[in-house]
Structure 1
Amino acid sequence: MRPVYTFRNVLELVDVGIHFKPSDSKSLAHINFSKGWWGFSVKVELPPIVVDDFTKPMLLNLIAYEMCYLNAYEAWVTSYTSLLDTLIDNGEDVKALRKVGVLENSLGSDEEVAKLFNEIGTNLVPYKSAYLNAKREIQKHYESWRNTLFSQLKKEYVKSPWAFFALLGAFIALLLSGVQTYFTVWSPKSTCDDLCMFLKSNHHL
């Protein structure tokens, strides 16, 4: 059964704490998925690409070449192009990848680049995807309710700093209340307590 991936584009993945960066190597074989702070955020390293007037014919020719060898272990160009088509829906996705250095746009507008990959990616299905493990990890992080909730809270409180301080104050008040309750119930009996009980019983305090 072919695995199902429900993530839509770069911006949707950024919303749940998945960030992209260019890999040190330009080899299409190099893609890396690494978890960050407490697993709430991850980094996906992608081979950088320069998109210009020659990109579309070059990719189409290389994809056609790979299609002639269906028994090849990895169809790198086809897999990479398919992945970019999955990540890019519109110009905003291109802009996000361009800002982090994964993509260099020498073609024109970001919308033109998005259109290029959407056109090439139509009905493009790699015979053997080279990035199955990375896609599986991205989907796993994307589906995590914990990561989604954390990212939504972070986005909400970044937009409203006062709401963040209110939440922090409420958390501190709750913590102090819990500490006070603990010491009230579980604090060890002191000699002062014995003295107070003696005075009460003998002097009717």
Structure 2
Amino acid sequence: MERYKLATARRTQKKLQSIKLHQLVEYFIKKEHMIRSHYHRHLDFNGETLAWMMAIDACFLFEFLRNYSNAEGKVFRKVTTMSHMVDAARMKLAYNCILRDIMMLENQIPLYLVRKILRFQCPSYQIADEELSNMLIGFVKEVSPFEVMKNFSSIDVKNYAHLLQLLYFMIVPKAMESIGTINKTEVHVDIPELKETKPMCNPNYVKQLFSSVWRQAPGLKVMEVLAKRPIKFLEKIPWKIISRLPGVSILVEKIFSFQGEKKSEDEDSTDEPPLVEKIMIPSVTELSKAGVKFSPTEGDLTTIWFNSRTATFYLPTVSLDVNTEVLLRNLIAYETTVELGPMVFTRYTELMNGIIDTEEDVKLLRQSGIILNRMKNDEEVAQLWNGMSRSVRLTKVGFIDKVLEDVNKFHSSRWSVKARKIMKTYVFEAWQILTFLAAILLLLLTCVQAYCSVYGCGSRWDHAINAGLE
């Protein structure tokens, strides 16, 4: 990549008739403090090295942006010096590598440097700004995952520091900064003193259980019989099955290992990081089953809304290709580290992460026109959205949170959803309890069978019944 940049800088120098590259470097040396002010961390380079780096990178960026100029420029016509790397169809591998490189947050070049290169060839800054505006409009139209440039005839290049900031504010207009709010108030939580709690299982309960059993069967003489042949009886009991029962294992733990469990809990108690806020919203498939329809919109993120009357969820059309993941991640990184307002774009990615779980969800959004998939398959798109990590900086975005509230309210009000919740809450949980009781009953019958096979309890039962009748 560095060889390409150096070669491009040499070609650009030949086109700059009124100034040489070393003169451009000298100008950048004078503007060292202005260049450094565009970066949020210290650049560990001296002034001359920084100026040469900026000159080469700015010439390369300028040459690359000229491929996006749709109008016939007043100074330059569409350039062909990078045609070996950037074809008209944008299908060459070099184009994708260059685009990903220049859109990385750490690789941003101040746009005013490109503006200065144009100024050296233009009679005035006005003409230079028009040329650069045409380039940037073409660039954003092609690169942006959203259709955001239909209402823009020009761009005021002086308002944007670099390409990533320009793309961000085309997707998230500055007017939306006041929509969300960030909660910066301190929260004081009163933690009550820990009180000694009683164990969930009292060992005395087991003793009481056995005592009641012995009282109910005095005629069986169980203790006397067990004392005669205890080994055979113990061999017949299915201890392996008993040990695998969850209820029995918990009971044994509580009886014999209560002190050890308490000690291990104290050792394992560590300071865990705060839980990350997660958007709770049903998936596209679940919403579709509940009667929600999805409709695409043309525009930025302000077009997200939910019509509860028609049960229509409106989302902006997003085009996904091999470069989209890099763009999305760097836009999130820029919003998180640079912008002080609400994280609107991050909230949007969390929304898409919440409603997309599987490739079936992607298929439904693709069929509705919300997702334009230029990747290999729907599974890759699902992995892309599910791979977006949630932000640890909690923020509220009013209009998106309102959409989430309306969607969840509509979904919860559907009778089909209520019926599924009732079945899950009462029927399925009851079946688990019944299954556990059936397992206990089967285990007791097995124990009785083992007892009878060893001691022959038929005559004893007859004796007990006859004694009861008398």
Structure 1 position 91 matched with structure 2 position 359:
yes
Partner of 1:163: none
Partner of 1:7: 281
Q: 1:126 to 1:80 in 2, by over 3 A?
A: farther
Gaps of 5+ in 1: 151-205
SS in 1 for 2:294: strand
Gaps of 5+ in 2: 1-186, 188-275, 420-470
Q: TM-score, normalised by structure 2?
A: 0.28
Alignment of 1:1-205 (within 5 A): 6-23=280-297, 25-36=298-309, 42-69=311-338, 71-72=340-341, 74-120=342-388, 122-124=389-391, 127-130=394-397, 131-146=400-415, 148=417
1:75 Cα offset (Å)? 1.9
- Answer whether contact 1:50 1:104 (CA < 8 A) is retained: yes
SS in 2 for 1:104: strand
- Answer whether contact 1:21 1:45 (CA < 8 A) is retained: yes
- Answer whether contact 2:279 2:354 (CA < 8 A) is retained: no
1:77 Cα offset (Å)? 1.7
2:329 and 2:402 map into 1 onto residues whose CA distance is 25
SS in 2 for 1:29: helix
1:69 Cα offset (Å)? 3.9
**CA RMSD after TM alignment:** 2.7
1:147 and 1:137 map into 2 onto residues whose CA distance is 18
Deviation by residue 1:137-157 (Cα, 9 ceiling, x = unmatched): 01111111446469xxxxxxx
- Answer whether contact 2:356 2:386 (CA < 8 A) is retained: yes
Q: 1:31 to 1:109 in 2, by over 3 A?
A: same
Deviates most, 124-133 or 136-145: 124-133
- Answer whether contact 1:17 1:147 (CA < 8 A) is retained: no
Partner of 1:161: none
2:306 and 2:393 map into 1 onto residues whose CA distance is 20
1:99 and 1:12 map into 2 onto residues whose CA distance is 16
1:55 Cα offset (Å)? 0.6
Q: Which letter maps to 1:82?
A: E
Deviation by residue 1:62-104 (Cα, 9 ceiling, x = unmatched): 00000014630x3222111111110100110000000000000
Deviation by residue 1:171-204 (Cα, 9 ceiling, x = unmatched): xxxxxxxxxxxxxxxxxxxxxxxxxxxxxxxxxx
Whose Rg is larger? 2
1:126 and 1:52 map into 2 onto residues whose CA distance is 28
Q: TM-score, normalised by structure 1?
A: 0.62
SS in 2 for 1:65: helix
Q: Relative contact order, CA 8 A, sep 6+: which one is greater?
A: 1
2:393 and 2:369 map into 1 onto residues whose CA distance is 25
1:17 Cα offset (Å)? 1.3
1:6 Cα offset (Å)? 4.4
1:3 Cα offset (Å)? 8.8
1:62 and 1:110 map into 2 onto residues whose CA distance is 23
Q: Which letter maps to 1:14?
A: S
Q: 1:84 to 1:22 in 2, by over 3 A?
A: same
